[in-house]
Amino acid sequence: MKRTHRWIVLGIVAVALASGKAWSADAGKGPSSNEPSLVGPWRAVSMVRGGQRVEGRDARTLLFVFGDKNVAVRLGGKVIADSPYSIDEAAAPKQIDIEFEGAKTLGVFDIAKGVLRIRANEPDRGRPTGLDAASDVELVLRRADRNAAYVHVMNLDGTGQRILVAPAEFTGVGSPEWSRDGKKLAFDAWRSIFGENFRLAHTLVCNADGTDLVDLGVAAMPTWSPEGRKIGYSSYEPNGVFMMNADGTKPELVDPEGWAIEWCPVGNRVAYTVHDSGAANVRVRDLASGKVHDLFDGRYFYIYYGMCWSPDGQWIALVGRRADASYELAIVHVDGYEKGFRVLAPTAESEGFRPLANPSWSPDSRQVLAALIKSSQPAALYTIDVENPHKIHRVPGQREDCAYGSPAWSPDGKKIIFCARKLPGE
């Protein structure tokens, strides 16, 4: 490779790697952290190479995505460089060594207020002495995911809140769910920084501590089978609800008319929504016999994704919208509306609150955890007593400058996972 062309790529790689150790460094911070966050993607602001400045569109089309040991540099949707690095944050200034084609490029960097600066030289010129020293390459980047949503975890008392997993390219996330044994997590995610939306959501699986993240491919709203060997999911194209092995193999269609499948924690049943002739319903299917029955008779115009079963498999919690545009968080008996039904929100105590999708039942069956939003306030998490819905409590530890949603109770009842993002302008 010619020296000039090599430095075009090296210049790109150098700036990206400046944040090197970011992935693990940010894993312990919550959405409200005021510390510089290095997790995720950065977009180029300017680049000086060989004394010539490259700015505007030529520089800003570059995106730098960080992992534990490597950084991927993207031009649009194409990866144009993927290189390993090492970093010394204790040095002054901080140092970064980037390995490219067997040779290391020596650099220094700094990050402050969401802006990343780096200067780098080839080995024969030595490491730049500072961020204002002469260098072969100077790059400036800005965070590309300042308001991205990630999966968080915290104790039920509000302590220990932190980002659990932050897939660098996937800056939109939803529908997190624990496996029944509490050892695994599954959630869906899409690359909003590339202009994608939830219709292109992938299902991601990891350990309960956020490690060993695996992308199972395009599949939305995952749900674990009771023994953890299969995952149910929804698909936009082809449309319908499916199941697959927990490693992403052997997809199998369950119902082409279904949406937002949820696996019952006991027995061999699933529930999902169906919509027809201006009405929505919950359909329960016995997977062994194939028999199905619907739970409602025209109560809801629309039923949202993210229903949840009670631990004993006798009730389903859901969020529905009625024909008058009102929203309800309700529970319904698995044998049908006439066997049991109760609205949990809104009640007199939660008047003015609108429930959001993805409620979660507590392991002891006494409470439902849900995201509620009121007027212009950001969405927040609340627990609601199933037998006495007037007992509604805001989960402690939440910040006013963040929006929360899609909560899920851990099987042992000690923790919750949820999606959270900082609000724009914060």
Percentage of the chain beyond pLDDT 90 is 58
Q: Indicate which CATH number applies to the domain containing 252.
A: 2.120.10.30
- How far is it, in rounded angstroms, from Cα 69 to Cα 110? 19
User: Do both 214 and 357 map to the same domain?
Assistant: yes
Nearest C-alpha neighbor of 224 from the set 355, 408, 90: 408
User: Do both 274 and 344 map to the same domain?
Assistant: yes
User: Do both 132 and 156 map to the same domain?
Assistant: no
- How far is it, in rounded angstroms, from Cα 308 to Cα 360? 6
User: Do both 82 and 162 map to the same domain?
Assistant: no
Nearest C-alpha neighbor of 201 from the set 188, 192, 212: 188
User: Do both 347 and 374 map to the same domain?
Assistant: yes
User: Do both 131 and 97 map to the same domain?
Assistant: yes
User: Do both 274 and 386 map to the same domain?
Assistant: yes
- Tell me how many domains the chain contains: 2
Indicate if the pLDDT at residue 62 is higher than 80. Answer: no
How much is the mean pLDDT over the chain? 85
Cβ neighbors of 399 (< 8 A, separation 6 or more) are 31, 32
Cα distances (angstroms) measured from residue 127 to each of 2, 118, 131: 22, 11, 11
User: Do both 130 and 201 map to the same domain?
Assistant: no
Q: How confident is the model at residue 18 (pLDDT cuts 50, 70, 90)?
A: very low
Q: How confident is the model at residue 356 (pLDDT cuts 50, 70, 90)?
A: very high
- Of residues 255 and 43, more confidently modeled: 255
Quote the domain boundaries for residue 237.
150-422
- Average confidence (pLDDT) over 1-25: 37
Cβ neighbors of 308 (< 8 A, separation 6 or more) are 262, 316, 317, 318, 358, 359, 360, 361, 368
Say what the pLDDT of residue 401 is: 86
- Residue by residue, DSSP assigns 325-380 as S-EEEEEEETT-GGG-EEEEES-STTTTEEE-S--EE-TTSSEEEEEEEETTSPPE
User: Do both 135 and 254 map to the same domain?
Assistant: no
Indicate if the pLDDT at residue 326 is higher than 50. Answer: yes
Say what the pLDDT of residue 176 is: 97
- 207-221, 269-283, 348-362, 383-397: the lowest-pLDDT one: 348-362
User: Do both 241 and 379 map to the same domain?
Assistant: yes
Say what the pLDDT of residue 207 is: 96
- How far is it, in rounded angstroms, from Cα 77 to Cα 287? 40
- How far is it, in rounded angstroms, from Cα 365 to Cα 363? 5
Per DSSP, 38 falls in state -
Q: Indicate which CATH number applies to the domain containing 63.
A: 2.40.128.280
Percentage of the chain beyond pLDDT 70 is 86
